[in-house]
Amino acid sequence: MKRFDSGSLAPGVRRAVQTLTLIMLAGAATLAAAQVVPVDPDWRESEAPPPPAPLASRMIPLDMPGSSLRFGVDAASVSVGRDGVVRYVVLAIGTGGAMNAIYEGVRCSTAEVKVYARHSAAGGWVATPTAEWQRLHEVAHSRHSLVIARNGACVGHGAAGTAADIVRNLKEGPDRRFVQ
């Protein structure tokens, strides 16, 4: 039987085959992961504790390429609830120094994010009345939430330890977390 040699394909066709193979492998891995970790049907969300007043001096910077805003997490706001939700305050600072803050939570077990409240200098914290859990990968305006989940809040399908562990992870960044 003759072996298939991908080198005999035109470069464009070879690239298309490689891309299709990667997409299929990623899809299979996603399906496998979804089957390994079942969603707990008895899960109940705990009441979110009130957020602290946001302070830029406590900000742990986030690497957000392509954004004109500087994003970060207020280190004093990070908490891990009994429900497994990692809650924190995200700071967004414009080029002129204006700061907005968002109090949100990430549910690592389902890769979802929820906005509990928004803060402005003029009005303080205002609860989000229709707050619902949304998929991290499907919410375009929550790219910072995905960065937080990947860079320190979540490990696999769970919180990355205590609030102190998560703060340390975010400060060290993803490239330094596992260096001894």
In the block, residue with structure tokens 């302070």:
55
pLDDT tens, residue by residue, 13-44:
455 445 444 444 444 444 444 444 566 788 89
Per-residue pLDDT, 35: 42
Cβ atoms 113, 106 nearer than 8 A = yes
Task: Report the residue count for the chain.
Answer: 180
**What torsion, rounded to 10 degrees, do the Cα atoms 107, 138, 141, 148 define?**
40
Domains in the chain: boundaries: 6-36, 56-172
Cβ atoms 88, 104 nearer than 8 A = yes
Residue 6 has pLDDT above 60, yes or no: no
Count other Cβ atoms within 10 Å, centred on residue 136.
Answer: 22
Confidence (pTM): 0.75
Q: Could you write out the DSSP letters of every residue in the chain?
A: -PPP-GGGS-HHHHHHHHHHHHHHHHHHHHHHHHHHS---TT--PPPPPPPPPP-GGGEEE---TT-SSEEEEEGGG-EE-TTSEEEEEEEEE-TTS-EEEEEEEEETTTTEEEEEEEEETTTEEEE-TT---EEGGG-GGGHHHHHHIIIIIEETTEE-SSHHHHHHHHHH-TTTTT--
Per-residue pLDDT, 10: 63
Query: Averaged over 81-105, what is the pLDDT?
Result: 94
Per-residue pLDDT, 34: 44
Query: Averaged over 149-157, what is the pLDDT?
Result: 91
Fold of the 56-172 domain: Lipocalin (2.40.128)
Per-residue pLDDT, 69: 92
Per-residue pLDDT, 1: 53
